[in-house]
Amino acid sequence: MIKKYDVFGMGNALVDSVCLVTEKFLKDNDIEKGLMTLVDDKKQISIIEKIQGSEPFIQSGGSVTNSIYLLSQLGGTGYLSFLISDDEHGKLFLEDIKKSGISTADEKFYIKPGMTGSCLVLTTPDAERTMNTCLAISSEYSLDNINFDHLALSKYLYIEGYLVTSELAMEAIEKSINFSRKNDVKIALTFSDLSMVKYFRDNFDKILEEKIDLLFCNKDEAETFTGEKDFKKCCDKMLSYSDLVVITMGSEGSVILSKSNNSINISPYKVNAIDTVGAGDAFAGGFLYGINNGLDYEKSGKLASALSSKVVTKLGPRLEKNIIDNIKLSMR
């Protein structure tokens, strides 16, 4: 079968509000730094009301959405499976992805009455992001939101780790994986956040019962998942879950692991980081674009690293098209 899409992404549809705060603000409000915490809309609003001197930067987001956005801006073909409501945030989200050239299904697959999900991103002076997420209608993401005809036309199924908090989403993931294995669609997963690995380990174990094709994570997530602080042993264990593993390490760069090749170390770019929101998403989007469009693992990793290093120099998870084009040209 001829494949129409490089990547079929499934993930939470969110609208991000990024605010600059101090370490003291997090401590005073009992907010655990560096993690994603699920909250309701009232809690989100109460936090926003306490923030002074920082006007939120608002943009559509969601981990896999950010990755598919970047892949599409690079010239790849991306499809997104999600759930929103017909409200202001939902309209903003939909307008953004359509402008970005991302494909979606008919409305019956992605609109449901309720409130569109949102994420309050609190960024401290060290550029660390702390997220308070109200899933709202995204918590009802399910098998009904998967268009299997389009999944069959994709080279990769890309699963967002944040979905493991929901049993409805887990059913959708498991059915999508089984379908993909029968229809020549490779399977990729991102752990998404250390809190997911800590608190929803059992659901990741279900997804990884059979080896997948590609796994994205950062060093903390990999070490927590494997229980190994020795990085060599950690890497060996990670390869028991996926044929290809990409581990990002912040200012230390990243490493690409596969059984068929020696590990590939990707050097970091030295930048002045302002906001790390979307860095991992950008890396995944760049890497997925590369491996689906003629680049080898090393070149894909270098492109991904260049893109993610640029994302952290600004607020928000998205890069402008001209910046993406310039980075792509510089990699030739």
Strands 129-134 and 36-38: parallel
Q: Is 218 helix (H, G, I), strand (E, B) or coil?
A: strand
| Model confidence at 10: pLDDT above 80 | yes
DSSP state letters, 89-108:
HHHHHHHHHHHTT-B---GG
Instruction: Please give the span between the terminal C-alpha atoms of the chain, in angstroms, as a whole number.
Output: 31
Whole-angstrom distance, CA of residue 242 vs CA of residue 263: 14
| Model confidence at 107: pLDDT above 90 | no
Whole-angstrom distance, CA of residue 186 vs CA of residue 157: 6
- The DSSP bridge partners found for residue 190 are 160, 216
Stated as kind and residue range, the H or E segment containing 128 is none
Whole-angstrom distance, CA of residue 189 vs CA of residue 63: 11
Residue 313 phi, psi dihedral angles, 5° rounding: -90, 5
Q: Is 240 helix (H, G, I), strand (E, B) or coil?
A: coil
Q: What is the pLDDT of residue 9?
A: 98
Q: Is 254 helix (H, G, I), strand (E, B) or coil?
A: strand
Domain that holds residue 88: 5-11+63-113+140-330
Residue 263: pLDDT band (50, 70, 90) is very high
- The better pLDDT of the pair 45, 292 is held by 292
Q: What is the pLDDT of residue 167?
A: 97
Q: Are the beta carbons of 162 and 108 closer than 8 angstroms?
A: no
Whole-angstrom distance, CA of residue 97 vs CA of residue 118: 16
- The DSSP bridge partners found for residue 247 are 217, 255
In the block, residue with structure tokens 């903003």: 92
Any domain includes 218: yes
| Model confidence at 262: pLDDT above 90 | no
Tell which phi-psi region holds residue 18, choosing left (phi > 0), alpha (psi between -120 and 50) or beta: beta
Question: Taking the CA of residue 16 as centre, how many other CA atoms within 13 Å lie in the half-sphere pointing to its CB?
Answer: 25
Q: Are the beta carbons of 238 and 257 closer than 8 angstroms?
A: yes
Any domain includes 23: no
Any domain includes 38: no
Q: What is the pLDDT of residue 57?
A: 85
Any domain includes 283: yes
Residues 6+ apart with CB under 8 A from 58: 15, 16, 17, 18, 92
Any domain includes 324: yes
Whole-angstrom distance, CA of residue 84 vs CA of residue 30: 30
| Model confidence at 59: pLDDT above 80 | yes
Q: What is the pLDDT of residue 53?
A: 76
Residue 22 phi, psi dihedral angles, 5° rounding: -95, 165
Any domain includes 55: no
Q: What is the pLDDT of residue 276?
A: 86
Tens digits of residue pLDDT in 176-222: 999 999 999 999 999 999 999 999 999 999 999 999 999 999 999 99
Q: Are the beta carbons of 121 and 17 closer than 8 angstroms?
A: yes
- Please report, for residues 50, 51, 112, the alpha-carbon distance to residue 291 in angstroms, rounded to integers and kept in the order given: 44, 42, 35
In the block, residue with structure tokens 């790390």: 276
| Model confidence at 54: pLDDT above 80 | no
Whole-angstrom distance, CA of residue 281 vs CA of residue 318: 9
| Mean pLDDT along residues 31-51 | 91
Provide the CATH number for the domain around residue 240.
3.40.1190.20
Any domain includes 133: no
- The DSSP bridge partners found for residue 85 are none
Q: What is the pLDDT of residue 56?
A: 84
Number of domains in the chain: 1
State the virtual CA torsion across 265, 270, 272, 273 in degrees, nearest 10.
Answer: 0
Any domain includes 35: no
Q: Is 101 helix (H, G, I), strand (E, B) or coil?
A: coil
pTM of the model: 0.93
Residue 106: pLDDT band (50, 70, 90) is confident
Q: Are the beta carbons of 266 and 301 closer than 8 angstroms?
A: yes
Whole-angstrom distance, CA of residue 172 vs CA of residue 166: 10
Residue 118: pLDDT band (50, 70, 90) is very high
Q: What is the pLDDT of residue 275?
A: 84
Tens digits of residue pLDDT in 284-332: 999 999 999 999 999 999 999 999 999 999 888 889 999 999 999 998 7
Q: What is the pLDDT of residue 259?
A: 83
